[in-house]
Amino acid sequence: MENGNVIETFDLTKRYPRQTAVNGLSFSVKEGEIFGFLGPNGAGKSTTLLMLLGLSEPSGGSALVCGLDPIRQAREVKKIVGYLPENVGFYGDLDAVESLRYIADLNGMDRDATSEKISEALETVGLTNEKRKKVGAYSRGMKQRLGMAEVLLKDPKVMFLDEPTLGLDPDGAARLIDLIKTLNRERNITVLLSSHHLTQVQKISHRVGIMIKGEMVAEGSIDALAQEKFGVDGKEYSLEEIYMKYFQEG
């Protein structure tokens, strides 16, 4: 943490019997940053996040989250990291308030203070009017926003968002991206964001990393990556163009 890196990995590796999902990954995310974590399906992004949360043991290398070891200090890490899994699941027979209350209980939050925090989280993600509806009846976009509310409930220092825009309509995706940007700016939450909505990612990311077949092939600000791939020709390149270039070469 002394060097201002909220996330740091050193040669992080995950081998499965048949394939290597993450191969010698070393990258870092600075405090207050939104880091766009890009790569095709199966590149190893989710596996990396799981290792950062101590849910999956690395086959090699190590990682630090806020200076903590995710394996040996799993509980401390989970206190400060808000994680929105890919395809987050809910208990269909609970409503939004009950779902959030369970998360608050698991976090050992003070029972009196929770009601207020729950309303605040629901307000932030714009679910106040639907808070008494059973989650089973929620649309994909509403579920994703409820997932964000669960993440916010514990006042995280860092958020790991694994493809939060997956399956959302363009408007829903844009609104979620705006929310992430606001949270980053107003609450100084560091964000590790994996997404395929490159235009949206470009709007808010301070830096991006492109992962292909378990390896990080590029890491840096979008301008720096454009310069590396296309040279200085005065033209503005979109993240999409840069990504495709790396993808074709990787």
Ligand X SMILES: Nc1ncnc2c1ncn2[C@@H]1O[C@H](COP(=O)(O)OP(=O)(O)O)[C@@H](O)[C@H]1O
Binding residues for ligand X (CB under 6 A): 16, 19, 21, 39, 41-47
Query: 106 is written with which tokens?
Result: 């698991």
Which residue number, 151 or 153, has a Cβ lying nearer to Mg ion? 151
Residue 39 contact, options Mg ion, other proteins, ligand X, none, Cβ 5-8 Å cut-off depending on partner type:
ligand X
Q: Is residue 137 exposed (0-12), middle (13-18) or buried (19+ Cβ within 10 Å)?
A: exposed
Q: What is the dihedral of CA 191, 197, 203, 209, to 10 degrees?
A: 50
Query: 213 is written with which tokens?
Result: 């077949």
Q: Contact between 46 and other proteins (CB under 8 A)? A: yes
Q: Is residue 118 exposed (0-12), middle (13-18) or buried (19+ Cβ within 10 Å)?
A: buried
Q: Contact between 72 and other proteins (CB under 8 A)? A: no
One-letter identity of residue 89: G
Residue range at the interface with other proteins (CB under 8 A); choices 5-13, 32-40, 72-80, 121-129: 72-80
Which residue number, 21 or 64, has a Cβ lying nearer to ligand X? 21
- DSSP state at residue 240: H
Q: Contact between 159 and other proteins (CB under 8 A)? A: no
What distances in angstroms separate CA 218 from CA 66, 105, 197, 202, 224, one per listed residue? 23, 40, 18, 15, 10
Question: C-beta of 161: minimal distance to ligand X in Å?
Answer: 12
Q: Contact between 46 and Mg ion (CB under 5 A)? A: yes
Q: Contact between 47 and Mg ion (CB under 5 A)? A: no
Distance CA 164, CA 208 (A): 16
Q: How many residues sit in the footprint of Mg ion (CB under 5 A)?
A: 2
Residue 56 contact, options ligand X, Mg ion, other proteins, none, Cβ 5-8 Å cut-off depending on partner type:
other proteins
- Per CB under 8 A, the list member of 13, 150, 197, 200 interacting with other proteins is 150
Residue nearest to Mg ion (CB): 46
Is residue 193 helix, strand or coil? strand
Q: How many residues does the chain have?
A: 250
Q: Which chain residues interact with other proteins by CB under 8 A?
A: 46, 50, 53, 55-57, 75-76, 78-79, 81, 83, 85, 87-93, 102-103, 105-108, 150, 154
Residues that bind Mg ion (CB under 5 A): 46, 86
